[in-house]
Structure 1
Amino acid sequence: MKVLLIGKIWPEPKSSAAGSRTLDILRALRAVHWEVHFACAAQKSEFSDDLGSRFEISTHSIELNHSSFDQWVSGLQPDIVLFDRYMTEEQFGWRVAQALPDCLQVIDTSDLHCLRHAREQALKSDSPLNLHNEISLREIAAIYRADLSLMIAEKEMQILSETFNVPNTLIAYWPFALPEPKNGVPPFEERNNFVMIGSFLHEPNWDAVQYCRKEIWPLIRKELPDAKLDVYGSYPPPKARQLDNDKIGFRVLGRADDAQTTLARYRVNLAPLRFGAGLKGKLADSFLSGTPSVASPIAVESMPGNFDWGSSVSTKTEEFAKTAIRIHEDKNAWEHAQACGYAIARNRFSEKEWMPKLPSLLSEAFEERDSRRSHNFVGQMLRHHQHRSTEFMSRWIEAKNSSQP
C-alpha cells in the first residue's frame, strides 16, 4: 500500500504532542512495510524531525494554492492520502479528489478543534459551552467529506455521534500507542519538586501556566516554602519568561531536550488545564517516566477509562493544590499514583495493541471505500457544493500570485 501523509507543519516531536502523534502514524505504517511519503508546504525549522532517515520514507516540499500539487500527486499515485488536521484537508482534499478520485482520504484529527475552541470561549466569556461554532462548521464538514477520520479520544467520538450525528462508519478510534514504561526510573527519595511541561504555542498550556502561577502555586508554597516548580515548553514568548521568579520558586526554563528524561527528575507533574481537547501527551510522558500527574478533569479526559487515576481530579483550586502537596510529600500516595499511571499506559495505550490496528483500519476502509461513499450522502453534497468554495478560493489565490511580478 502506498500512503501520502500531508502535514500542516514538519513534525517536531520534541516540541509538541502533535509531532509525536505524526511519528506514531509513520511508525505504524512502516512496521508493515507500506511505502510512505510525507509532504508539507511549510518551512522546516531547526527542530523538525529527520523523517527520511528515521523511517526510510520519502519527504517532499509542496506548494500551497498551486496547481503543481495536482500534477505531482497524480504522478505519485498514492492509494491513501492522510491529512494531519482538518485544515490540511481543506487545503488539499479537493485537489486529491479531482486528481485521484479512487484514493482513500483520511483525516487524523489530533484533537477535536471545535471542542477545544468552545471550551476556551466558555471559560473566557463565562458562558455555556457552544459546540455549534464557526470551527465546527468547517471541521465537521471535513470529517463528512473524508472517507475516514482517526479519533484520539473516546469523548470526542461521543460528541461527534451525539451532537453532530456523524455516522460511526466515518470515524475510528486510534489513541496513543505507548511503549512499555521505563525500568529503573528514579524512586521517590531521589526526586523532588514540581514540574509543568507543554508547548507555549498551544493556548491551553499557556493558560494553565498563568492559572497555576496566580492561583495554585501560592497555595503550594504556603505549605512547602522551599518547593520549586520548573516550567518547560517549546517556544516560550517573552511574556512567559517574565513569570520566572526564583524567589517564589517559579522557574520558566523553556524547551526540554527530552520530555521523559526531564519529567523523571521530579516528584509531581502539574496539569491544571482549564480547556483543551484530545489526549494529553504530557500525561503520557509522565506515565512512561514514572512521574505522577496531578491534573484537572479536562487534562484527564479519556485517559484512564475504568482505571484508577491514582489521585483526586478536581477543578477546585484548593483541592488541586492539596492533592499536589499530598502526592509530593506522602511516599505511599506517590507510589500508588505512579502504579496507576503504569497500569493505564499498559492496559489502555499499549503499542503492542494499537500499532497493528492502524494499518488494519486503513486497509478495511480502502477496500470498503465505494460502499462507504455511497452511504455518505452528506459527504457527497459537501464535496459537490460547500467544498467548491474552498477550491475557488485556492484557485483565486493561485491566480493572484501568478499575476504578481
Structure 2
Amino acid sequence: MNQIKKLLIIGFVWPEPNSSAAGSRMMQLIAIFAANQFEITFASPALDSEFMVDLASFGVEKVTIELNNTSFDDFIIKLNPDVVLFDRFMIEEQFGWRVAENCPQAIRLLDTEDLHCLRTARHKAFKENSPFQLNDLLVEEVAKREIASILRCDLSFIISEFEMKILEDVFKINTSLLYYLPFLVDEMFEIDLEKLPSFEERKHFVFIGNFLHEPNWNTVQYLKEAIWPLIKKGFPEAVLEVYGAYPSQKVLQLHQPKEGFFIMGRAANACEVVKKAKVVLAPIRFGAGLKGKLLEAMQCGTPSVTTSIGAEAMHGNLFWNGFISDEVEEFANYAIELYQNENLWRQSQKNGIAIVNECFQKSQFSSQLIDAIHTLSNQLESHRLQNFMGSLLHHHTLKSTKYMSKWIEAKNKN
C-alpha cells in the first residue's frame, strides 16, 4: 500500500466553523486527515476573515494563493502533494487544470458541500411558485458546470444520500466516482443528556444560520411573516431568538421585541446558544445537502421543528427529534406542543441521540475514507482509464479554462 502523506486543500473560503455548517464540515475533514498523519496545507484565494479558524493551531499550514496566476504552478510543483482536495466545484474549475498539469499523479478529490444545482433549481422553482421536478436539474446551467467538475475528479464527497441518488439516477454518474460522506460527529449516550440544561432550565425558541446563505434568510422571513404570528396567538409568552453570522440590514429590520421576535446577530458560541434554547425552529423551504443547524440541535439535546427539505436525508428510517411539517398551521401547533409537553420533549431528545449515532458516527466513516483513498492511490491509472468522460472533459473543457486563465493573467499584467 502506498503511503500517502501530503494533502493540499484548496478552499473557497477560510474555514469559519462558528459561522456555517460548511466551515464545520471542513474542520471535520481536516481532523480525519490529521489523525491519519497527513501533512496538511490549506490554500485559498479568499481574503482573511476575523472569524476564520487558526489553522496553525491544528497543525495546518496556511497559504494564500492567487486566481489566474502562474505563481500557483510554482507553489504546487514545490509542494508536490499526494492528494488535492477542492472545496466546492468552483475551486476545481479554477485550479483543477493546474493541478492536473503540474501534479498529474496527485489524487483529485472534490468536497461538493451540497449539490449547488439542486439548491439553485429548488430556489428557482420556489420563486416561480411551481413544483420542483428532478428533471429541472437537467436544464440548470450550474448543473453542467458542477457535474463536469465531479467527472473530472477522481472521487467526490457527497454529503446526502438523496444527492447520491440524484447523481446516480438523474445524471448517470458512475458510483466509482462518488463517496457518501455525511457530517461526522462523536457518539452520544443518554447519560450525556444529564450534562445538558434540563427542560425546566431552558427557555425560548431559537433559529440559527449564516445569512450569506439565501435559504436561511428566506427561512427567517417565513418565520416572521407566516409562522410566528400563529405561535404567538396560541402561546402569547413565546419568544424567538434569531442568531446568525453576517446579518444584513434587511435581517436586522425584522427585530420586533414587542412581538417576541429578537434578531440577536452572530452567536459567540452557537452550541451554547442552542443548549439553552428549548426548541429549534427551522422551516426551510429550499436548499440542498444536510442542515448543520439541525444536527447541532440534536447534539445539544434540543428538539426541533423543521420541514421535509430541512430533514431531508438526515434521519434514515428513524423518528425525528421533534416534528416535520410543511404546513404553516401544523408547524406552529407542533412548535407549541413540543415546547410545552415535557414527555414529548424528552422523547424527542432521545430520538436525536439515535439519529446522531445511526447516521453521523465519525468512527463508522473516517477509517473507511482513508482506506478508500489508499485503494484509489494504488489503482489510480485504471480508475482514470475507466472514467473516459472525465478524461474527455479534461482534454476539452479545461483547455478552454486554461487559455482563458492565461488570457486574464496576461491582461492583468498590462
TM-score (norm 2): 0.95
In the TM superposition, residue 17 of structure 1 has moved relative to its aligned partner by: 0.5
Out of 159, 168, 181, the residue aligned to residue 174 of structure 1 is 181
> Aligned runs of 1:366-377 on 2, under 5 Å?
366-377=377-388
Structure 1 residue runs of 4+, over 6 Å off? none
In the TM superposition, residue 370 of structure 1 has moved relative to its aligned partner by: 1.0
Q: C-alpha separation between the residues in 2 aligned to 1:6 and 1:359?
A: 19
In the TM superposition, residue 360 of structure 1 has moved relative to its aligned partner by: 1.9
Q: C-alpha separation between the residues in 1 aligned to 2:203 and 2:53?
A: 32
In the TM superposition, residue 361 of structure 1 has moved relative to its aligned partner by: 2.3
Flag structure 1 segments of 5+ consecutive residues without an equivalent: none
Aligned to 2:391: 380
Aligned to 1:354: 365
In the TM superposition, residue 241 of structure 1 has moved relative to its aligned partner by: 0.3
Q: C-alpha separation between the residues in 2 aligned to 1:144 and 1:81?
A: 15
Aligned to 1:141: 148
2:281 partner SS: strand
Out of 117, 120, 134, the residue aligned to residue 123 of structure 2 is 120
In the TM superposition, residue 128 of structure 1 has moved relative to its aligned partner by: 4.0
Instruction: Kindly indicate whether the alpha-carbon contact (under 8 Å) linking 2:304 and 2:323 is maintained by their aligned counterparts in 1.
Output: no
Instruction: Kindly indicate whether the alpha-carbon contact (under 8 Å) linking 1:38 and 1:59 is maintained by their aligned counterparts in 2.
Output: yes
Instruction: Kindly indicate whether the alpha-carbon contact (under 8 Å) linking 1:229 and 1:249 is maintained by their aligned counterparts in 2.
Output: yes
Is 1:244 matched up with 2:251?
no
2:276 partner SS: coil
Q: Closer, same or farther in 2 for the Cα pair 1:233/1:81, shift >3 Å?
A: same
Aligned to 1:105: 108
In the TM superposition, residue 323 of structure 1 has moved relative to its aligned partner by: 0.7
2:322 partner SS: coil
One-letter amino acid matched to 2:364: E
> Aligned runs of 1:86-97 on 2, under 5 Å?
86-97=89-100
Instruction: Kindly indicate whether the alpha-carbon contact (under 8 Å) linking 1:29 and 1:358 is maintained by their aligned counterparts in 2.
Output: no
Out of 116, 131, 143, the residue aligned to residue 137 of structure 2 is 131
What CA deviation, in whole Å up to 9, does each residue of 1:92-144 have, x standing for no partner? 00000000111110100000000000100000012343112010000000000
Instruction: Kindly indicate whether the alpha-carbon contact (under 8 Å) linking 1:154 and 1:302 is maintained by their aligned counterparts in 2.
Output: yes
1:10 partner SS: coil
What CA deviation, in whole Å up to 9, does each residue of 1:223-268 have, x standing for no partner? 1111100000000001100000000000000111111111011110
In the TM superposition, residue 355 of structure 1 has moved relative to its aligned partner by: 2.5
1:312 partner SS: strand
Aligned to 1:151: 158
> Aligned runs of 1:4-403 on 2, under 5 Å?
4-53=8-57, 55-129=58-132, 130-132=136-138, 133-181=140-188, 182-183=192-193, 184-403=195-414
Q: C-alpha separation between the residues in 2 aligned to 1:240 and 1:9?
A: 23
Instruction: Kindly indicate whether the alpha-carbon contact (under 8 Å) linking 1:160 and 1:166 is maintained by their aligned counterparts in 2.
Output: yes
In the TM superposition, residue 390 of structure 1 has moved relative to its aligned partner by: 1.7
Q: C-alpha separation between the residues in 2 aligned to 1:149 and 1:170?
A: 6
2:30 partner SS: helix
Q: C-alpha separation between the residues in 2 aligned to 1:342 and 1:259?
A: 19
In the TM superposition, residue 306 of structure 1 has moved relative to its aligned partner by: 1.5
Aligned-residue CA RMSD (Å): 1.0
Instruction: Kindly indicate whether the alpha-carbon contact (under 8 Å) linking 1:150 and 1:171 is maintained by their aligned counterparts in 2.
Output: yes
What CA deviation, in whole Å up to 9, does each residue of 1:342-367 have, x standing for no partner? 11011211222223232222222222
Q: C-alpha separation between the residues in 2 aligned to 1:357 and 1:63?
A: 34
Q: C-alpha separation between the residues in 2 aligned to 1:362 and 1:280?
A: 26
One-letter amino acid matched to 1:368: Q
Q: C-alpha separation between the residues in 1 aligned to 2:18 and 2:323?
A: 29
In the TM superposition, residue 290 of structure 1 has moved relative to its aligned partner by: 0.3
One-letter amino acid matched to 1:135: V
Q: C-alpha separation between the residues in 2 aligned to 1:258 and 1:296?
A: 25
Instruction: Kindly indicate whether the alpha-carbon contact (under 8 Å) linking 1:24 and 1:177 is maintained by their aligned counterparts in 2.
Output: yes
- Number of aligned pairs? 402
One-letter amino acid matched to 1:103: A
What CA deviation, in whole Å up to 9, does each residue of 1:290-313 have, x standing for no partner? 000111011100100011114331
Mean alpha-carbon deviation: is it higher for 164-173 or for 127-136? 127-136
Identity of aligned residues (%): 48
Instruction: Kindly indicate whether the alpha-carbon contact (under 8 Å) linking 1:269 and 1:292 is maintained by their aligned counterparts in 2.
Output: yes
